[in-house]
Amino acid sequence: MSLINSDAVIGVIGAGTMGAGIAQVAAKAGHTVLLYDAFKGAAQRGLEGVEKGLLKLVQRGKMQQDDVDTLLSRITLTDSLEGFAPARVVIEVIVERLDIKQSVFSQLEEICADDTILATNTSSISVTAIGSKLKRPQNLVGMHFFNPAPIMKLVEVIRGLDTDPAVAEAIYDLSSRWGKSPVRAKSTPGFIVNRVARPFYAEGLRVLQEGGADAASIDGIIREAGGFRMGPFELMDLIGHDVNFAVTSSVFAAFFNDQRFLPSLIQQELVSAGHLGRKSGKGFYDYSEHAEKPAVSTAAPAPAPHHVAIEGHLGVAESLVPLIEAAGIKVSRVQEGHGSILIGNTTLQLTNGLMTTERASQANNSNLIQFDLALDYTKATRIALAPADQTDPASLLQAIGLFQAVGKNVTVIDDVAGMVVMRTVAMLANESFDAVNQQVCSASDVDVAMKGGLNYPFGPIEWAKSVGLSSILNVLDNLSASYGEDRYRTSPLLRRNVAGGNL
């Protein structure tokens, strides 16, 4: 398959927000674009939406009017599929129904040249299944953009079982020339992003279900400690629970009810009640006019300790030590130990995936408190603490005072295995390793996909490596032991990396 030239005609079927955005991207790259929508007037509305968005850029001084006029002149509306005859590539952006997509592509095969590339923007339907009814399935490829297409860099290039590798590479190269960050993936349920992202929602929902913390506090911990732009409940409300629940359910079913993708009863109840999030005015949060968003649970001020002892190396949390010293707290160090911060008879440790109560019992240490993972302990503005059931209230106050002294808001959560950020990051990494292990994509592509598609602060695999793969494996093994569920089984590739010395 030859390279798609810069003057190639690009067809876009579907002129909604995504389709119109893709048309804008192609036109900006210099292509003549043919835009079609089966609904009367929709293509014109789509084009007007593009113009409106571009004019805002002109008003902000980010684009010249002449450039807007040139871009818009490259987009031509067509009133039938027959108008796509000259197209070198046709991108379908229509309803997520297999039969309709198959019908449209079958018609295009009769209209377009034999070597025209047919691309589907599907987010959930198998590219292989779409191509199964085509005469030339080798010409069909997935080209999955993320919304809004003109801004989001990621494009998942998905190979169906019959896709010609040269076709996939041509679309990969085209995406790169359009200024995108393409990644390669096989046609498997959820592709990369919609598969790997499931634990971000699922673990937050599980912590909520178990009473670990309320939705606002979980969101706050994920944002302010984990470095994510939004917490899981904010994001689900934004996406819409009908959409998010449907994606989770479809991935669960497509993987033959693999427990790792088990949908949440909490979210099912929201969908049943019509509480779909922002679009309905209510989800985990109330979006009515005068409603106030619940505050993140924050501990009251507590006195700072005068002295702490550090036993062993704190691993990823070692950057806390200079913060403690800078706060004027005397620090003494003991080289031996399991990575602990000692305040008198109070022991603080980074969560290892066990419930604090269980870990305290194993260590015969009644005053144990675990703290959660942070993306960067020097920049995080919040930290979560989970005391054991046996822990003295005075010990908890000492721990709160320590973290407040180094500039952190403190949220005390109930004792749930793996806490909040740690279990979320560990499960995202685990799913990423499993996708790589099952030949869906490369390790580098999964990190690019999750940063480019969902604005994650780190790719899950690179994040796991920064924490330490052996630590992530230990967390997952402890989650599995605590829950006794197949949901927390570890990826063979992660275990293999640790066994091979990639710690």
Residue 194 is a catalytic residue? yes
Q: Which of 31, 144, 241, 275 is catalytic?
A: 144
Q: List, edge to edge, every strand of the sheet that includes 368-371.
A: 330-334, 307-311, 340-343, 346-350, 368-371, 382-387, 409-412
Tokens 């095969």 map to which residue? 109
Rounded-to-integer distance, Cα 300 and Cα 403, Å: 12
User: Within a 10 A sphere around the Cβ of 429, how many other Cβ atoms?
Assistant: 29
Rounded-to-integer distance, Cα 55 and Cα 71, Å: 12
Tokens 């860099």 map to which residue? 153
* Sign, Cα dihedral of 364, 369, 374, 380: negative
Residue 144 is a catalytic residue? yes
Q: List, edge to edge, every strand of the sheet that includes 117-120.
A: 75-77, 33-36, 10-13, 89-92, 117-120, 140-145, 154-159, 181-186
Given 3-state DSSP classes, what are the helix, strand and coil percentages for the chain, each rounded to the nearest 5? 45, 15, 40
| Single-letter amino acid code for the residue at 375 | L
Q: Which of 109, 156, 311, 431 is catalytic?
A: 156
HEC string for 130-155: HHCCCCCHHHEEEEEECCCCCCCCEE
Q: Which of 194, 297, 430, 497 is catalytic?
A: 194
Within 7-153, strands assigned E span: 10-13, 33-36, 75-77, 89-92, 117-120, 140-145
If DSSP codes are grouped into helix, strand and coil, which group holds residue 340? strand
Contact 464/456 with Cβ under 8 angstroms?
no
Rounded-to-integer distance, Cα 156 and Cα 363, Å: 47
Among all residues, which ones are annotated catalytic? 123, 144, 156, 194
